[in-house]
Amino acid sequence: MAEEKEKSAGKILEEQLFWKFPHIGKEAPGQVEEASEFCEGYKTFLNKGKTERECVIAAVRMLEKAGYRPFEKGQNYHPGDKVYQVNRQKSIMATTFGRQPLDKGVRINGAHIDSPRLDLKPCPLYEKNEIAYFKTHYYGGIRKYQWGTVPLALHGVVVRKDGTTVSLCIGEESGDPVFCISDLLPHLAAKQNERKLAEGLKGEELNIVIGSLPFQDESVKEPVKLMTMKLLNDKYGITEADFFRAEIEMVPAQKAVDVGLDRSLVGAYGQDDRVCAYTALMAEIETMNPEYTTVTVLTDKEEIGSEGNTGMNSFYFKHYLEDLAELQGVSVRDMLRNGLCLSSDVNAAYDPTFSDAFEANNASYLNKGCVLTKYTGARGKSGANDASAETMARVIAAMEAEGVYWQAGELGAVDQGGGGTIAKYVAQLDVDVVDLGVPVLSMHAPFEMVSKLDVYNTYKAFKAFYKI
Ligand code: MN
Ligand code: MN
């Protein structure tokens, strides 16, 4: 055996006083297989839930299977009982009752299930030069140029005049057609190339090709439009007037796949923030008899500022907590004041190709675990929930007690831009809250990438959180 070199005093002191987040692949290679296995279920969830409504349906199915029942006011619930409540088909809350009374505080884990996409305009269908198109209005922060020449699928619901609702989905089954936004060929793009990148494709150029064959009747003025409307009518029984009673979302048709020769990454649309939604849901389901009552909320409208009555800036969430408090006849204020919440959302993973956008010492990295984000916001932390040292300490202790790999990270370098999460809306309720989630490469692009090890450790962090 080789003689171990004696460490210098400086080396010893360095080990004692400095800190670096380890690479999980180096420190715990045994986790690679566990993480990969865990992500098979995650990929299935991503493929089933490409809209907030579909995520709610998938979540209800998972919760029901695990023994959760719809929450009923006035019921007598016991520690360990599991309930859920759906808000308007677009957000959902799940709870496991704890041993402590509710006014001792709840453990809240919130993720969002809406993702950037292209919504159809209220009057979307038109024909131009014998091509039928859908007009779109983008939802959330997208880089518009990324959405051209990408195969798109159609998802949504239409409420017909007779009050019945029909769900639409085209482009997901094998053999389905897909849809696409065209872009210029390089040969003719000299003028377009002069545009700024932000205008590579403009908002009114995000027009989706949906058909090109005419209905055979010379007297019809827009025969291609008529043909596409007829095909939609044949399939779904809808007419043009039904688009006014619809929510139709165009999303990338691509399925979730492994990325890399080593299959270390998951590539898919909508991982912001379904990666936290899935891991939160799994942790919720696997939590049995917790000390404190859990509230896992999968919310909508985060990408446009948590607006509307399915977003976290609505009272819907507080009303659910009030209903819980009412069950035990305790003060909802105490329940909130003593509460602790993870605002579970993704952060930007350090991208070596675009290193200027990051500050290397305070960025999150692939394969270093879930990222704890003390504050988001823009400029001088404007719009941020700046988590307290005490809150950071509680969450870090919870993760370290369970051997979770985690890292700290900011959302990019100072003054590079910024962003927000649901954290500030939870903080508004008088709850201690901090952001935690998965680092993502190409966030908000039609195809985002995350590390399987990071996904797995985020799930482990959520499980650890429900133990404290
Ligand atoms: Mn997000
Ligand atoms: Mn986002």
Asked whether the beta carbons of 21 and 369 are under 8 A apart, the reply is yes
Residues 229 and 89 in one domain: no
**Shortest CA distance to 304 belongs to which of 419, 456, 153?**
419
Centre of ligand 2 to C-alpha 458, Å, is 17
pLDDT range class, residue 142, cuts 50, 70, 90:
very high
Centre of ligand 2 to C-alpha 218, Å, is 48
CA distances from 92 to 29, 41, 128, 270 (A): 35, 20, 41, 18
- Across residues 404-432, what is the average pLDDT? 93
Query: Tokens for 299?
Result: 């919310």
Centre of ligand 1 to C-alpha 46, Å, is 15
Report the alpha-carbon distance of residue 248 to residue 355 in Å, rounded: 37
Asked whether the beta carbons of 226 and 215 are under 8 A apart, the reply is yes
Q: How many CA atoms lie within 13 A of 182 on its CB side?
A: 10
Centre of ligand 1 to C-alpha 126, Å, is 33
Total structural domains in the chain? 2
Residues 198 and 239 in one domain: yes
Report the alpha-carbon distance of residue 388 to residue 49 in Å, rounded: 34
pLDDT value at position 2?
58
Cis peptide before 119 (omega within 30 of 0): no
Report the alpha-carbon distance of residue 384 to residue 375 in Å, rounded: 6
Asked whether the beta carbons of 433 and 426 are under 8 A apart, the reply is yes
Specify the CATH number for the domain of residue 333: 3.40.630.10
Asked whether the beta carbons of 71 and 83 are under 8 A apart, the reply is yes
Residues 162 and 109 in one domain: no
Residues 394 and 339 in one domain: yes
Centre of ligand 1 to C-alpha 135, Å, is 26
- Across residues 247-268, what is the average pLDDT? 98
| DSSP per position, 52-99 | HHHHHHHHHHHHHHTT-EE--TT----TT-EEEEEETTTEEEEEE--S
Q: What percent of the chain has pLDDT over 70?
A: 99
Identify residue 48 by its one-letter amino acid code: K
For 424, the domain range is 20-115+269-465
pLDDT value at position 4?
65
Residues 110 and 124 in one domain: no
Residues 132 and 71 in one domain: no
| Domain contains 258 | no
Residues 100 and 191 in one domain: no
pLDDT range class, residue 384, cuts 50, 70, 90:
confident
**Shortest CA distance to 384 belongs to which of 345, 349, 335?**
345
Query: What is the residue whose two structure tokens read 């069950």?
Result: 327
- Ligand in nearest proximity to the CA of 421: 1
Centre of ligand 2 to C-alpha 273, Å, is 7
pLDDT value at position 352?
98
Report the alpha-carbon distance of residue 344 to residue 401 in Å, rounded: 19
pLDDT value at position 418?
86
Residues 121 and 111 in one domain: no
| Domain contains 260 | no
Specify the CATH number for the domain of residue 215: 2.30.250.10
Cβ neighbourhood burial of 209 (10 Å; 0-12, 13-18, 19+)? middle
- Across residues 372-388, what is the average pLDDT? 91
| Domain contains 141 | yes
Centre of ligand 2 to C-alpha 391, Å, is 23
> pLDDT tens digit string along 157-202?
999 999 999 999 999 999 999 999 999 999 999 999 999 999 999 9
Residues 156 and 294 in one domain: no
| Domain contains 262 | no
Buried b (16+ CB within 10 A) or exposed e, 84-104: bbbbebbbbbbbbbbeeebbb
Query: What is the residue whose two structure tokens read 């399915």?
Result: 310
Residues 425 and 321 in one domain: yes
Report the alpha-carbon distance of residue 386 to residue 192 in Å, rounded: 42
Q: Which of 252, 286, 321 is the last residue of a domain?
A: 252
Query: Tokens for 334?
Result: 């105490």
What value, to the nearest 5°, has the Cα angle with vertex 59 and ends 158 and 92? Answer: 75
Residues 221 and 345 in one domain: no
CA distances from 80 to 95, 111, 292, 353, 466 (A): 9, 22, 10, 48, 13
Residues 134 and 245 in one domain: yes
Q: Which of 252, 285, 302 is the last residue of a domain?
A: 252
| Domain contains 418 | yes
Centre of ligand 2 to C-alpha 177, Å, is 28
pLDDT range class, residue 415, cuts 50, 70, 90:
confident
| Domain contains 88 | yes
Centre of ligand 1 to C-alpha 5, Å, is 48
Report the alpha-carbon distance of residue 260 to residue 206 in Å, rounded: 31
| Domain contains 65 | yes
pLDDT value at position 167?
97
pLDDT range class, residue 5, cuts 50, 70, 90:
confident
Report the alpha-carbon distance of residue 289 to residue 61 in Å, rounded: 21
| Domain contains 261 | no
Q: Which of 190, 224, 252 is the last residue of a domain?
A: 252
Q: What percent of the chain has pLDDT over 90?
A: 94
Query: Tokens for 327?
Result: 């069950």
pTM of the predicted model over 0.85: yes
Centre of ligand 1 to C-alpha 272, Å, is 5
Mean residue pLDDT across the chain: 97
Identify residue 460 by its one-letter amino acid code: K
Centre of ligand 2 to C-alpha 193, Å, is 28
